[in-house]
Structures are given as structure tokens and as C-alpha cells.
Amino acid sequence: MQKRKREDAEEGMEIVWQTPANPPEPQDYIFRNGRRHVRPYYFEFISHVKNRWVGKTIVDLFAEEFKGRPYDYYVTAVKCGRIQVDGEIVPVSYIVKSSQKISHFLHRHEPPVMALGVSVLQKEPDVLTICKPASVPVHPCGQYRKNTVVGILQAEHGLAPLFPVHRLDRLVSGLLILARNASKADLFRQQIEAGLVKKQYIAKVVGEFPEDEQIVDANVDYNPREGRSTAEVRDTSSDTPAKGKTACTKFTRISTNGTHSIVLCEPITGRSHQIRVHLQYTGHPIANDMLYLSEHITDRSAGGMSADRAAVKSHHSIKSSFYDKCLDEYEENSGDEFSIDPMCTNCPNLVPRG
């Protein structure tokens, strides 16, 4: 599938719409102030009508399900054909039906990541081993498509197709193995499911971590709406089923200076944010993990965390003012590097709002 041109009905603009089949290219990226940005691009999102959508008007459907844009935007998008049903322009009062295909053509802005390269450590015919930088998601998800490990490797190294064998959280750096064909990926999957693959992580945590080996056996309950997990101990004496999935992690202290500790983390199971939430549960969250650092953490070690809590509050303040300064700078200078779309709710900014 190739990029396809169409003329916007209302604005008379000739636009090149991209689909997932269009690979990222080196010129898609803008580097500024230590960050890798993606030049905004036109993209076609395709979805099929879900049962809960049936019977709603096309505008109400989008306004209720995709609240990131105002109601008036969706009215205009339907009128000018940027939202279509089964490839056809429909009126704003159109009632959607089961199994129909809905296309949303929009000007897409991706969040920035750190301007670190993806280092290829070893390239074999069937396997690629790389060092994933922090802040970059592994594969397309949410607002990210080109600003991903897979996208950057395709754009800057010409490596495609790639099949991630395992994932690391967006904020985590480390060794990442990708298969270069589907059969090799399936072989790795079988080995992981059979327990033949072990993972080790090293984390810098808050406080003086206990010297003895710690095993945390606490369920992990992931809330996709909030994007975070919580830990809970299984109560064997109760008939009430636990909310989360069983999870177990082994921790071994490598070193400590009294304020922070370096800890070896070995997950026995693999749940969303397992290591992060289990470290939080011990009272020793990862030192720069803003999602799980909390002023209300119960410290289970002998020493308190008042100094670290004060540092967290200070870090929040510094982070907020730094982000505001960067955003102001981007808004002032970004418009000259890409064409402005008159309907886009993010233009003229390079960084997406929200």
C-alpha cells in the first residue's frame, strides 16, 4: 500500500495520507534540544464499528469515544470528508451500523523522545540485538508510531520487518532482542513460555535497601485507564478472589550509600510494571520513577524517607517549570519546519497538546 493523495474537500488542499504500510524515513525526524521529534504527518486511522457504537450518529460516536478533540472539530471533519464510513462521505446525522469501516484522516503529532540513537549490538540473519534508550516505546502504540524502536531502526538502519520478542517499558533502557522473521519470533515465544529465558534488571532505588535477598510475592493489578499498577498480598485465608494477577520478584542489593541503593531485580513472572510496583511496595521505589514515587509510601525499612520525599516535591517543581519553558520554545519555533494544517487541533505546535 502506498501513500495516497487526495484533495481536502473544504480547504482545497492536496494532501498525502499515510497508512501503517508507509515506513518511517530519516527526514521524518527533527532533533532539537536533546529531543527527537517527528515531523507532523497526515495519517489514516481505520476502525470497525463496535457493538456499543451501533445506532449513534457519526459525530456523537467520535465525540464520546475520542475526547481529545472538541465536538466542533468532528462536525467539520465529517462535513469535509476527513471522517468517512466505508470510504464514503456521510452527513453529520448519519447513524452508524454494525461492521462498517470508519476512516479518520488527521494531521498527526507524536510526542518527543530523547534524542538517543538505537545502538545495534549484534546483527544476525534471524536475530537483532540492540540497546533500547529510555523514553522510547518498543513498537507503535497510543500516540507513538515513528518515535519507536521499531520505527527508528527502520528509518535509520533499514531494518524491517522486525518482531519484538519481549518488551521494555517506554521509560526503561536495556538489552532488547528482536526476531527478523515470524518463525524465529515463534521459537523465542515458546522458549519464554517454557521458562527457558531469564531476565535481569538493575535499578537505582530510594533509601537503604535491605541487605538480605528480598522476595516480593504480591499480586499486580494493572489499570489500563490510569496506566499504572497496584500491588496486593494474597490472603490465603479469605475466600475473596484477589483482583490482580499473581506476581513474584526477587531483589538483591548490590550497593547503597544510605540515600539510594543499586538493586538487582529478577522477575519470576512478567506483569505490567511488575518491578516498579513491587519496589514501591517494599518502600523503595525507583529513584526517578515519577509514576510510582509518592509522598504517601509506607517505608518498610528501618530508616525514614523524609529527605527523599522532599526531593520528590522539588523534582516535580523543577520538572514542571522545565517542561513549560521547553513547550514555550517549541511553540515559538516549530511552525517553520512543517506545513500548518488549518483543521489540526495541535498546529502550529510541534509537541502535541495534552
Mean predicted lDDT score pLDDT of the chain: 85
Max distance between CA atoms of the chain, in angstroms, equals: 69
Stated pTM of the model: 0.76
Least confident interval from 120-129, 223-232, 296-305, 332-341: 296-305
Answer yes or no: is pLDDT of 4 > 70.
no
**Which residues, other chains included, contact 73 with Cβ-Cβ below 8 Å and sequence gap of 6+?**
343, 345
Answer yes or no: is pLDDT of 111 > 70.
yes
Burial 27-45 (b: 16+ CB within 10 A, else e): ebbbebeebbbbbbbbbbe
CATH architecture of 201-293: 2-Layer Sandwich (3.30)
Please name the residue ranges forming H helices in the chain: 58-65, 71-79, 149-157, 182-193, 274-282, 306-333
> CA 88, CA 1: separation in Å to the nearest integer?
19
pLDDT at 127: 97
Q: Which three cell numbers stand for residue 100?
A: 462498517
| 142 DSSP assignment | T
| Model pLDDT for residues 8-27, shown as the tens digit of each residue | 544 555 677 787 778 899 99
pLDDT at 1: 38
Using pLDDT thresholds of 50, 70 and 90, give the confidence band for residue 338.
Answer: confident
Bond prior to 161 in cis (omega within 30° of 0) = yes
> CA 100, CA 50: separation in Å to the nearest integer?
9
pLDDT at 225: 78
Cβ atoms of 114 and 42 within 8 Å: the answer is no
Selected residue with higher pLDDT from 354 and 266: 266
Using pLDDT thresholds of 50, 70 and 90, give the confidence band for residue 296.
Answer: very low
pLDDT at 13: 55
Least confident interval from 155-159, 204-208, 222-226: 222-226
Tally of CB atoms within 10 A around 54: 14
* CATH topology (fold) of 115-194: Alpha-Beta Plaits (3.30.70)
Selected residue with higher pLDDT from 340 and 339: 340
Selected residue with higher pLDDT from 321 and 59: 59
Using pLDDT thresholds of 50, 70 and 90, give the confidence band for residue 309.
Answer: very low
> CA 304, CA 211: separation in Å to the nearest integer?
16
CA distances from 235 to 35, 240, 242, 246, 279 (A): 46, 8, 8, 12, 20
Average pLDDT over residues 105-129: 95
Using pLDDT thresholds of 50, 70 and 90, give the confidence band for residue 142.
Answer: confident
Answer yes or no: is pLDDT of 300 > 50.
no
State the catalytic residue, choosing from 8, 60, 169, 217.
169
Tell me whether residue 128 is exposed, middle or buried, using C-beta atoms within 10 angstroms of its C-beta: 0 to 12, 13 to 18, 19 or more: buried
Q: Which three cell numbers stand for residue 161?
A: 520487518
CATH number for the domain formed by residue range(s) 41-108: 3.10.290.10
328 is catalytic: no
pLDDT at 55: 96
> CA 344, CA 109: separation in Å to the nearest integer?
9
Q: Indicate the domain borders of the chain.
A: 41-108, 115-194, 201-293
DSSP for 193-217, please give it: HTT-----EEEEEES---SS-EEEE
Place of cell 529510555: 134
DSSP for 9-45, please give it: TTT--EEEEB-TTSPP-GGGEEEETTEEEE--EEEEE
Using pLDDT thresholds of 50, 70 and 90, give the confidence band for residue 293.
Answer: confident
Average pLDDT over residues 210-222: 95
pLDDT at 41: 93
